Amino acid sequence: MLPHSGPRSRTFREVAALGREAGLLAPVAGTTTRAEVAVLFDWNNWWGLEELWGLPRNDFSYVDTVMRHYRPLWEHHYAVDVVSTRSDLSPYKVLVVPNAYLVDDEGAAAVTEFARSGGTVVMSFFSGVVDACNRVRPDGYPGAFRRLIGAKIDEYWPARPGERFTVDFADGHTTTADWWREDIHLETGTAVATYADGLLKGRAAVVANEFGAGRVVYFATLLEQDAFDRVLIGELRAAGVENRFDGLPAHLECTVREDERHEYLFLLNHDAEASVGVPVEGDGTDLLTGLPASGEVTVPPLGAAVVRRARQA
């Protein structure tokens, strides 16, 4: 923590300031967060996607894929838990499943039961293909999730370098996709979007399926990011996921921790130039400054605030 430039350096001053702020946050000890959205991360699936050869393409990056699903949730200020297939999924309204190529029987059953019990599953392509021993599941692709997505996949169609295709949504939006396509035949599912050109013209690119008391949305291609984000966030809103920070800029990180008496609102401004005003209901105190915080809190560039306020009944 003490660099070669000595105790008058910026690095040392900021580390010392962080130590002082950590002491001011002692009341936060023992608090918890509450999320209604979970992102599935599976170590065995990571191994299956990246360490085995002979897949339709061998340039998968599981971490990049997971971040592509997580980032829009962070930018729209949704509280998110990262879970495994062994986690208790009952607290969540939406489960996001990125490229679950390798999934064991217990994991497949957990995702299926989550949807059957009323949850919304958002799943990306090349999922449910093999079991825990990397054996292709029977009954057609995607073996573990065919009934869940309400469709059968005849073939996987990785895109050629530079190949792009147009995707038309049923609501009138048009976007592009690349990298991957799947030749999907709908069973109980319906097309949210279809390919508008190429040999798969008219085939589903995004599928929605009502399953039990829940809903499943399946992406059969790599949509351009804005279009993917629009569908993902739309499903969260349709599922009734709470978002008290809707409308605040993406570069403002917002987290709430709480105990029986208080909630603690953490605000971190990642912008180096602009301040952000954040509405605050009721009366509170910024633990970092000791100043009252009510009505609105201004978070300076690269600054932070931690507002404590009484929990509402």
Tokens of 75: 């930018």
Tell me how far CA of residue 272 lies from CA of 13, 15, 251, 254, 268, in angstroms. Answer: 18, 18, 10, 17, 11
- The angle formed by the CA atoms of residues 298, 38 and 157, to the nearest 5 degrees, is 115
* Residue 312, pLDDT score: 76
Rounded to whole angstroms, the Cα distance separating 169 from 192 reads: 6
Q: Which pLDDT band holds residue 53 (cuts at 50, 70, 90)? A: confident
The residues near 222 (Cβ < 8 Å, ≥ 6 apart) are 125, 177, 178, 179, 180
Write the pLDDT tens digit of every residue in 116-142: 999 999 999 999 999 999 999 998 999
* Residue 111, pLDDT score: 98
Write the pLDDT tens digit of every residue in 225-245: 999 999 999 999 999 999 999
What values do phi and psi take at 226, rounded to 5? Answer: -60, -40
* Residue 3, pLDDT score: 81
Percentage of the chain modeled with pLDDT above 70: 100
pTM of the model: 0.94
* Section 28-48 average pLDDT: 96
